[in-house]
Amino acid sequence: MPSTRISQLAVLGIATGIFSGLFGVGGGIVLVPLLVLWIGFDERCAAATSLLAIVIAASAGAATQLIYGNVDLVAALTVGIPAVGGVLIGTWLQQRIPVAMVQLLFSVMLVAVAGLVAFQ
Amino acid sequence: MIALAIIIGVAAGVLSGLFGIGGGILLVPALALVLGLDHVEAEATSLLAIIPVAAVGAWRQKSYGNLDVRSGLTIGAFAAVAAVAGVALVNVLPVEAVRYAFAVLMLYVAWRMASSAIKQLRAGADPALPDGQ
């Protein structure tokens, strides 16, 4: 990777991490728009890259929380197993919806999340 | 209540796959309001639940040809470190004031995303097929 590219990715990662740590929002909400609007990824590539970044960041966060004893394993499985089924549907669906339409739906979700962040 | 938690779990997964987010936006309320975890436990448990969801999503995207593995790993590593700084900043910054600024920034980003999407839709050059980068 060229070094400008690495520094771009570093800035993306740092911005994503700080915002998610600060506001308790997931990294994807911050990362996907940055990948689309700044790096020029299409919505599918942005979503794919974001999911992998989330695996790394969430693993680090979850490891810390496991040490603190804040994780309820049964509850994690109760929502996590159905969610794994859901993500198969979601990724399948995403390949069949025009990328621009996915991007439009994402912006609608962003408005909803902005409301949640402001009024929580 | 378990049935409701399962339904919300599926919905969180669909959102995760569709938008490339973790799904915590639905998982945290499901864990707190439906399964009765306190706020800290709900956030922590959601982080653990998200790992297999995002991993399976990334794996599916890889097979659809959309995943740039090195970019994802690089961003994730920086994000993992920066999240610690973000949590530390909560105690330093006037979070309530920053919260509104963040919400306004998200509305601006939503508008930029929507206008670029509408421009693409109008141009019509948008096959619903995996098209790489």
B98 within a domain of the structure (yes/no) = no
- Host domain of residue A110: 3-119
From first to last of the 133 residues of chain B, give the pLDDT tens digit. 899 999 999 999 999 999 999 999 999 999 999 999 998 899 999 999 999 999 999 999 999 999 999 999 999 999 999 988 888 887 788 878 888 888 999 999 999 999 999 999 998 755 554 444 4
- Of the candidates B12, B19, B40, which has its C-beta nearest A83's C-beta? B12
Q: Note whether residue B126 is domain-resident.
A: no
Residue B79 counted as domain residue: no
Could you tell me how many residues make up chain B? 133
Comparing alpha-carbon positions, the chain A residue that sits nearest to B114 is A104
How many angstroms separate the CA atoms of A103 and A117, rounded?
21
Domains identified in chain B, total number: 1
SS3 track for chain B? CHHHHHHHHHHHHHHHHHHCCCCHHHHHHHHHHHCCCCHHHHHHHHHHHHHHHHHHHHHHHHHCCCCCHHHHHHHHHHHHHHHHHHHHHCCCCCHHHHHHHHHHHHHHHHHHHHHHHHHHHHHCCCCCCCCCC
Q: Determine the distance in angstroms separating the CA of A14 from the nearest CA of chain B, rounded to an integer.
A: 5
Q: How many domains does chain A have?
A: 1
All residue ranges of chain A with pLDDT < 50 are none
- By CA distance, what is A59's nearest residue in B? B51
Residues in chain A closer than 8 A to B67 (CB atoms): 45, 48-49, 51-52
Using the beta-carbon criterion (under 8 Å), do A31 and B79 form an inter-chain contact? yes
In a domain, B56, yes or no: yes
Domain assignment present for B50: yes
User: pTM, whole model, 2 decimals?
Assistant: 0.91
**Domain coverage including residue B14:** 2-67
**pLDDT tens digits along A37-46:** 999 999 999 9
Residue of A16, A22, A37 to mutate, testing the B interface (most B Cβ within 10 Å of its Cβ) = A22
Neighbours of A120 (CB within 10 A): 10
Inside any domain, residue B39: yes
- B22 belongs to a structural domain: yes
